[in-house]
Amino acid sequence: MANDRRKKRRIKYPASIGDSYELYNGVKIPCVGFGTYQVDDEDDAIRSVHTAIRMGYRHIDTASYYANEKCIGHAVNSCGVPRSSLFVTGKVWNTDRGYETTLKAFDRSLKELGLDYLDLYLIHWPANPKQFREDWITINQQTWKALEKLYADGLVRAIGVSNFTPKYISVLMETAKMRPMVDQVEYHPGLMRDETIEFCGEHDIMIEAWSPLGRGFMLENPTLIELGRKYHVSAAQICLRWELQKGIIPLPKSVKDYRIRENADIFHFEISHDDMKKIDSIERVPAKHNPDTAIFD
């Protein structure tokens, strides 16, 4: 099947939150990540990351746009788990795209985080023709060139993109020395992005899912609630397990301890083929932002 990355990669389902996938450059990336968007309270940020790590998460996702890098870095550095056992992702924001500006933005992020390197660095959003007219191609290619330099210099272990559709990835690949290793996109049962999943599968680009619970509204979906009762789990666990069985890395976010624990507890059951199909047939909903039309400050 086109959107079954697990079959594409010929791997078994991850058996625990400590399991990893392997990116095409050989770097291991944990199968579930911990999102930190809108976790901007210092105490909440540090406590939630500490809780997540204590519960087995080893994959922490942040970005300069989230304005919490200092807190996230403090949590990573004080959690008691060796840095080499953690996978930390950062992102360059739209106002810093370009070659020199991306390199400077990365340096600022590294200092804010208090880290010597990042495991993954992403272009947060593509520059699009609506906002940048004919310059969008050059901006994206120059930003990617900066990420390739960071990778070559050993400051990041893997590089990728976020919110990129095949059109934008293809433009990068016209001048790139290497293709992206990851594409992080909004993905959940109501928004499956078939074309992007197909393209990334063909090019061995790992998909990560931001907003894997559909910003919370998927938790009220009758199909997910019904299946939760059947498997004796929550609708959120059904949603995350569905993504896991698609071979996609979910990045759930919460500051509540019981939610953080619940979101990690998705390895003790398996959704049947027929029930996976039921979830696949859930009515689609609009994306929060369209990369072709989104304009950010």
- pLDDT digit string (tens) for 101-135? 999 999 999 999 999 999 999 999 999 988 888 89
66 noted as active-site residue: yes
| Two structure tokens written together for 237 | 């666990």
Distance of CA 268 to the CA centre of its chain: 23
Three-state DSSP at 93 gives coil
241-255 pLDDT tens trace: 999 999 999 999 999
Average pLDDT of the chain to the nearest whole number: 94
What is the reported pLDDT for 204?
Answer: 97
Encoded tokens for 278:
């039921």
Among 66, 121, 151, 187, the active-site one is 66
pLDDT for res 192 = 92
Q: Which of 235, 248, 171 is nearest to 209 (CA)?
A: 248
CB 258 within 8 A of CB 234: no
Cβ neighbourhood burial of 194 (10 Å; 0-12, 13-18, 19+): exposed
Contacts of 42 (CB under 8 A, 6+ apart): 71
Angstrom CA distances, 26 to 22, 64, 97, 127, 133, stand at 6, 26, 27, 29, 37
pLDDT at 52: 98
Domains in the chain, CATH or no CATH each: 29-219+247-270 (3.20.20.100)
* Low-confidence spans in the chain with pLDDT less than 70: 1-11, 297
Q: Residue 190 belongs to what H/E stretch?
A: none
Residue 222's pLDDT is what? 97
Question: Would the pTM count as exceeding 0.85?
Answer: yes
